[in-house]
Structure 1
Amino acid sequence: MKKHSIGFLLLCLPFLAHAQTSPRKGFLRQGGQFSLGVRSTLSTFSHGSWNENGYGAGGQFRLQLNDRINTEWFLDMIRTDIARVAYRNDYHIGWSVMCYLISTKDFKRPVTPYVQAGHCFDWTRIAPNGRRNELQQRGSSAVQAGIGTHFNITPRFDISLSCQYMLHLGKELHAHVEGNEVHIEKHNNAGWEGHLLINVSANYKLLKLWKPRN
């Protein structure tokens, strides 16, 4: 876990260095903006395959630190059908750092693109349909990175689209399907598991938690 955290901090260094190049007054103007939002999620390309897609929903809030750096804190649940004989539920709770590629202009531009990277905790549950007593579950830790953009309907309200690749580290848990039979296997050895996340969210800036410094 320690190596995990160090790697993520190194990943964020270019974002923070880029932010420091902005003029101080404008750089701090948007700091303190607090937003609430709802999100819809598509999970695909799990284990390198496009065959199993998961769909889910959740909520999030954002706390903007300055004109170029925003943070997003989220909670969602994704459900995946496994060959119509089993299901998988994934519960995510995590956060991301968002670095805006251009000046936000107080979010008066039609679009505001960004890159993002973050960390989350995941709880996975897999069970055959109608046989809940055979449920297997595991926890894991993950890092994610990707790109996105805000479509600014007004300076306070946006629709956002993002695409991230999420990489989990935890005990291996998967389902083997043979015809109409499914066997769920859980291994004690740790392994990597990745999938692609596409999120659409609606967000509203509720209030400003602090005023810019002069």
Structure 2
Amino acid sequence: MTVNASRKRLSREESRAQTREGLLDAAKMLFARQGFEGSSVEQIAEAAGYTRGAFYSNFESKELLLIALIERCFDDDLNGIAQLQGDLVSVSAGFQEAADLEEARHREAHLLKMEFWMCALRYPVVRAAYAEQHARLRTAIGSLIEAQYAALHRPLPAPADQLAAVTVALRNGLDSQKLISPDAVPNDLYGLTLHLLLTGHAPQQPSTD
């Protein structure tokens, strides 16, 4: 009887987790397409295939759902950064590879990122959560940059956290420009500029011999 109760409880927990993830997935799509303020609780629940009651059994408010989504997206970014290894050349190439999503995915991901940023400016509770996650991102990138400079026995030209902030700002700025004026931002511009920023010189071009 104890075993059956345990299985039933686990099933409820799994069902709740599935509902929560479904709501987050729906919110991710809607926030990218029509913005946080343009998406209602009812629309999010309907897009996920659940009721308004299911929404509020998982999230007390739309703002708290947004914070959960921000945390999930930053976790995904941090998992990707954790996979980057090698010297500064491969590190910059790794960042570039992460930026080279196919156009539709790239557009949705960037619009969502900008929506996070706008909501952080407008809502204090979201700002605090966003700032915390952004600090985690800078720390992760800064540690990676610091390790690469140490491997090359070179001093950092600036604090690692500041260099990380610049790499994030560079990525976001170029992504915005590329979505508006694709021809103005070649696919390799981010990797090239990041390598130049981190090493002080342009990457060597492969030999044509």
Q: Which bracket does the TM-score occupy, shorter chain normalised?
A: under 0.3
Structure with max Cα Rg: 2
Higher fraction of helix: 2
Give the TM-score, by structure 1 length.
Answer: 0.26
Q: In proportion to residue count, which structure has more strand?
A: 1
